[in-house]
Structure 1
Amino acid sequence: MSENKKWKEKLISSSFPLEYLVSRKLAALDIAVQNEFTYSRDDAGILKDFSIDLQGNYWNEECTFNLIFLIECKQRHDKNKWLFMRDPNISDFSSHTLGYTIRTVDNFTRMIVPTESTYALDEKIDFVVKGLEIDTSNGNVYDNELKHGLSKLAYALPDVMIKNISHCIHSHKEDNIPFFFVPILLTTSELFVTHDDFSLEKIRGAQELEDISEKVAYVIMENQHTPGFGSHRAKRFSAYDYFLDSPQLGFINSLREKHGEYTHTLPMERIMDLANNPHQPFPEYFSQILVCSLSSLDSLIMEIIEIVENAMKDAKKLA
């Protein structure tokens, strides 16, 4: 490879051009783009800063909600494919939960957003429990980068919540609005989900990846709770226990309690539980991550925006 070609290939593989392309796509959809979302994480006993490639914030014209997109980008070459294992469980035993892919956080506001209002996305996308990359040019199969991207997104989510909870309880009461957040692992690779009859025999008899799997635009990936993540989340929230002294938080807590909200979902109780109970998984915030192919990003983002806007039409304000 000539020196002139080397730098081009290295630049493309760095994901730098991909991040710029995605930024332009988001901006074209009226989303405010922030390059890198920085979060803190314990690394061998030392608190260090890490980052996700892109954060996007969308507000509707009336500014009645904030929708946050957290996007980690993975540039891959044309022969790279991502294969995912479909959840083998029947629905009663699946960890896939409707409404947990678009996270709704209204606890810290006067608004009540119906629980079922964001189900639509989960109802139409495959839920998968494991994934790997296949390099069809050389036959290599690996999962390190995919796992790394999912882990980065998961560990950033507590800081996403903390930042936006802070805005809720420290802003003017009229500016205190619900927020929604959606983590997305974005790749230039095509995505495939295994057929229901996936087996060793089917693999041996296959000529192409399409013989054992279905090409899809995006999937919902299971993100399992681990003791390490539980400790990370608890440490991050415990560092902000002064939130409990917020007069606005106290007001919202009393208001929601007056209207009959369950104790465990009251805002003050929620902050204390997130800070003090590392064993609790809180799947409504941390259990499901979208994986999307670049060619389908625009349609996915537009669909999420539409779902959230419709959800807010059914929201009610507590008095």
Structure 2
Amino acid sequence: MRTYLESKGCIADFEYSYLKPDDLTIERQFSYDIDASYIRGRNFVDLMVECKYRYPGTRWVFTPDHYGGPEEFGQNAFMHPFDHFVPHKFPFPGNFPRELAPACSKAVELLPDGPNEKTVVQALNQLAYAIAPKIVSAMDHQINRLLVQDHIFYHVPVIATTAELFRLNDGVRIQQIRDANDLEEVATRQSCLVMSYKPGVELGRYNAKVINSIAALVDQKALKKCLNSFTNDLGHLLSVISTTYCPRAVVFVTVDSRQSGFEQLFAYIDDLFEPPPCLLADLEKQQNELVELLDGLPDVRLRQPKPRSKKTAK
């Protein structure tokens, strides 16, 4: 895996370690398998890869999810662009005319002797708790201009597995699953999937503790000078990052001889940084459709009350 990532131009290293409390609240060392940096211009992509090698025939089955909706789960949520302390912004944070892969939510591992719900959860936790320390490092680099200059950092959590990935078909019902003779009757095989993720209370507290530590390390004048975000309130910014950003989505890829899942991921990331003409055309079309939609909405501006005449006032 490391050799493949280096062949794509990554600077890769085995095992990234971090500290977090265990089940007994004792701080211990945890890690994920491969940490790879993929740099394109002023875009610094950190691929956080946890590898799960499973017995042949093992299947991971995912429930379907969809982009958009009340949670504003964008197609590029898995990129986690961190651009709060640099002058330029990631241009595609919301709705996007392309997608890396179908969206999903929960997953279960199917083994010959029955389902196993722990494997996927454990892999997710190993990556989810590693993002906050990465955020602290990104803030330090952006504010103090360490090693990089005005780079946007991206934290892309990836679970790479030899298990076969299946996404249940949209609209499939439980009875259909029970009646199916084979999984492929109710699910579709995928080489890559994007899972939506929402930090729980425990993870949110851990994120806040780790991310707030940056305030003690950074000169406040330098911090305020660099801040370029949706809010000027640092506390508000760090709170939002802790509860909604770490992480918002995780990528799952199948490891096979062609590395089709990773090839799909790298091609998509390259297109984000250097959009081809067909993507630019789709973006322009999407923008025009949005303008037409807004123009078709009724004018809801509040009318100012007419000033009362002196006679009426009396």
Is 1:109–1:252's contact at 8 Å kept on the other side of the alignment? yes
Contact kept in structure 1, 2:197 and 2:248, CA below 8 Å? yes
Instruction: Please tell me whether residue 32 in structure 1 is matched to residue 8 in structure 2.
Output: no
Aligned pairs (5 A) from 1:240-319: 240-245=214-219, 247-253=221-227, 256=228, 262=230, 264=231, 266=232, 269-270=233-234, 272-273=235-236, 277=239, 281-283=243-245, 285-295=246-256, 296-310=260-274
Give the ranges of 4+ consecutive aligned residues of structure 1 lying more than 6 Å apart after TM superposition.
none
Return the TM-score normalized by structure 2.
0.77
Residue by residue over 1:126-173, the C-alpha shift from the partner in whole angstroms, topping out at 9 and shown as x without a partner, is 1111110112xx241111010110111111111111112211222269
**Partner residue, 1:146:** 120
1:95-110 matches, within 5 Å, as: 96-110=73-87
Structure 1 residues 293 and 156, CA, compared in 2 at 3 Å: closer, same or farther?
same
Match of 2:204, SS state, is helix
3-state SS of 2:4 partner: helix
How do 1:15-94 residues align onto structure 2 when only pairs under 5 Å count? 22-43=1-22, 44-60=24-40, 63-87=41-65, 91-93=68-70
Report the number of matched residues.
272
Shift of residue 225, structure 1, vs aligned partner = 2.2
Ranges in structure 2 where 5+ consecutive residues have no aligned partner: 281-314
User: Unaligned 5+ residue runs, structure 1?
Assistant: 1-21, 315-319
Q: Distance in 2 between matches of 1:287 and 1:119?
A: 16
2:14 partner amino acid: N
Match of 1:134 among 110, 118, 141: 110
The secondary structure found in structure 2 opposite 1:249 is helix
**Higher relative contact order, chain-length normalized (CA < 8 Å, sep 6+):** 1
Cα deviation code 1:245-303 (max 9, x no counterpart): 155433223xx4xxxx53x2x4xx34x3465x4896224x4221111111323313322
Highest Rg: 1 or 2? 2
Partner of 2:101: 125
In the TM superposition, 1:169-184 aligns within 5 A as: 169-171=143-145, 175-184=149-158
Hey, which of these two has a bigger chunk of helix by percent?
Answer: 1
Q: What is the identity, as a one-letter code, of the residue corresponding to 1:291?
A: F
* 1:146-204 deviation digits (Å, cap 9, x = unpaired): 01101111111111111122112222697231111211111101110112242333223
Contact between 2:158 and 2:252, CA under 8 Å: does it hold in 1?
yes
Contact 1:227–1:279 (Cα < 8 Å) also in 2: no
Q: What's the Cα RMSD here?
A: 2.7
Percent of residue pairs identical = 19
Structure-2 separation of matches of 1:298 and 1:115: 21
